[in-house]
């Protein structure tokens, strides 16, 4: 039976979505990215070989199936071509399988420049963006001045639009940021080169998705970042600029919201965050350092060290509700092996009250004090286990309590980076 499923992050990103998309994509006709851009970093390990992807859907290492980039993705043509070439050099037939929506907003050099000037100007209040120009590109979309992938198909249209938009940006750079203007001729020449390489891949994605649905073929939607970085529902302003939650799937791909059958929330067994912003269960102690070292918690895209902390059931419960998650996939359970005691945050103390709904404001969330439940850890290794019955009893109890607190069943447990190091309790395609 065909099924349309989504794989989303339920925390602040870096939950291990890439591995699970790769794992589940064996039987799908297409994998679709619907938001974000090359700020994402999805790491895949297949037979020990590591592949890092930023824009191309994580099913590209499979032998078949379309890899689709939906309209909600902001596309740096330069980054996409670099990523494509790396895969093509390895003998992967990218051009035969990749298709890009004609309605994607392009990230151009002025977006990355503005991202950087803004962060510098913010000083200590900086968001800690990836510096890829993601926010400024989405701003252009909302302001209705964006240059889109369909504009790559007409040199005349591209030239006119670039002239207009660069005039605006250069005014901003020179007058507000006292920075050098960017060269129109250079950007135009580069973009025209990129257009030549990408033009055959640019197409109407909603039509492909609808046709696959009519033919009863399965489709998988691959989220980037995580629920708590959603521009509407995340820890604003310390968020990314797209809708990372399930609502973004329909708008970011053109696939009707009634057609989704299953939404899987990828959830790390503890919590991490890259960049600034509140993090109630953050550990600035030896345990935090232990999680960071053992979990190799370094950003795939920027190489920044991730902040680490205990599992926050208040925030993940919110993610379950916001995304209508059908089930959870718990990742990096093995990182907790050997810890004497584990803590789960089940509520917050906020202004002398006990709350279980996170406050909307980043400033208020920063004032929340976690209320912890303590559970005993386990001594034996869970690394690489493939069967639930092999898990230590205390690991089973930890997982059961997480599931109970957040209100969603556990479908998959990931016990290592390799595709094979996985316990499947309930396959979303069954």
Query: Where do contacts with ligand IMP occur on this chain (CB under 6 A)?
Result: 12-14, 39-41, 127-130, 132, 134-135, 224-225, 229, 238, 240-241, 274-275
The rounded distance, in Å, linking the Cα atoms of 98 and 94 is 6
What is the closest distance, in whole angstroms, from the C-beta atom of residue 241 to ligand IMP in the complex? Answer: 6
**Nearest residue (CB) to ligand IMP, 126 versus 371:** 126
Element (H, E) at 339: none
Q: Which two tokens stand for residue 21?
A: 């998309």
- 237/239 Cα distance (integer angstroms): 5
Residue 53 or 212 having the CB closest to ligand IMP: 53
- The separation between the first and the last C-alpha atoms of the chain, rounded to the nearest angstrom, is 8
CB nearer to ligand IMP: pick between 139 and 337:
139
State in angstroms the smallest separation of the CB of 155 from ligand IMP.
30
The residues assigned a catalytic role are 14, 42
The Cα 31–Cα 22 span in angstroms is 9
Tell me the closest approach of the beta carbon of residue 116 to ligand IMP, in angstroms: 11
In the complex, residue closest to ligand IMP by CB: 275
Distances (CA, A) of 106 to 30, 101, 129, 153, 426: 23, 11, 18, 13, 39
Q: From the CB of 133, what's the least distance to ligand IMP, in Å?
A: 8
Least separation, in Å, of the C-beta of 299 and ligand IMP? 7
Whose Cβ is closer to ligand IMP: residue 134's or residue 411's? 134
Both tokens assigned to 70: 């939906």
CB of 14 or CB of 418, closer to ligand IMP:
14
Q: Which of residues 18 and 342 has its CB atom nearest to ligand IMP in the complex? A: 18
Peptide bond into 237 cis (omega under 30): yes
With respect to ligand IMP, which residue has the nearer C-beta, 202 or 358?
Answer: 358
| Distance in angstroms (rounded) separating the CA atoms of residues 227 and 323 | 8
Sign of CA dihedral 263, 269, 274, 276: positive
Shortest distance in whole angstroms from residue 41 CB to ligand IMP: 5
d(CA 430, CA 422): 17
CB of 100 to ligand IMP, least distance (A): 20
CA-to-CA distance for 52 and 83, rounded, in angstroms? 9
Choose between 57 and 275: whose C-beta lies nearer to ligand IMP: 275
**Shortest Cβ distance from residue 134 to ligand IMP (Å)?**
4
Would you state the structure tokens that stand for residue 25, as one six-digit string? 């994509």
Structural tokens at position 166: 């660069």
């Amino acid at each position: 039976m065909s099924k349309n499923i989504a794989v989303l992050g339920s925390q602040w990103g870096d939950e291990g979505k890439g591995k699970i998309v790769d794992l589940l994509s064996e039987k799908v006709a297409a994998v679709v990215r619907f938001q974000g851009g090359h700020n994402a970093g999805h790491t895949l390990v297949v037979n020990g070989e590591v592949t890092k992807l930023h824009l191309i859907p994580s099913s590209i290492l499979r032998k078949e199936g379309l890899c689709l980039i939906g309209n909600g993705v902001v596309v740096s043509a330069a980054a996409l071509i670099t990523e494509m070439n790396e895969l093509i050099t390895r003998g992967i037939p990218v051009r035969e399988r990749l298709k890009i929506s004609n309605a994607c907003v392009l990230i151009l050099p002025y977006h990355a420049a503005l991202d950087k000037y803004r962060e510098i100007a913010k000083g200590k209040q900086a968001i800690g963006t990836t510096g890829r120009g993601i926010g400024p590109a989405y701003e252009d979309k909302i302001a209705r001045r964006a240059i889109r992938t369909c504009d790559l198909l007409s040199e005349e249209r591209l030239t006119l639009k670039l002239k207009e938009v660069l005039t605006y940006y250069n005014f901003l750079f020179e007058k507000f940021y006292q920075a050098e203007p960017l060269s129109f001729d250079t950007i135009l020449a580069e973009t025209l080169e990129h257009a030549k390489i990408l033009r055959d891949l640019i197409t109407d994605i909603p039509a492909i998705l609808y046709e696959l649905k009519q033919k009863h073929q399965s489709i998988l939607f691959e989220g980037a970042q995580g629920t708590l970085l959603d521009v509407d529902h995340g820890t604003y302003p310390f968020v990314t600029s797209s809708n990372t939650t399930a609502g973004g799937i329909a708008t970011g791909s053109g696939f009707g919201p009634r057609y989704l059958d299953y939404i899987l929330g990828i959830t790390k067994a503890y919590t991490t965050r890259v960049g600034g912003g509140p993090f109630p269960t953050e550990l600035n102690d030896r345990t935090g350092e232990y999680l960071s070292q053992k979990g190799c918690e370094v950003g795939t895209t920027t190489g920044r060290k991730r902040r680490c902390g205990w599992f926050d059931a208040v925030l993940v419960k919110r993610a379950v509700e916001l995304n209508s998650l059908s089930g959870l996939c718990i990742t990096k359970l093995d990182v907790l092996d050997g810890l004497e005691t584990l803590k789960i945050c089940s509520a917050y103390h906020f202004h002398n009250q006990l709350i279980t709904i996170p406050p909307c404001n980043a400033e208020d969330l920063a004032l929340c004090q976690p209320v912890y439940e303590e559970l005993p850890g386990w001594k034996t290794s869970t690394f690489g286990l493939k069967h639930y019955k092999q898990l230590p009893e205390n690991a089973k109890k930890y997982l059961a309590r997480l599931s109970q607190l957040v209100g969603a069943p556990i479908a998959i447990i990931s016990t290592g980076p390799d595709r094979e190091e996985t316990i499947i309790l309930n396959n979303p395609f069954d």
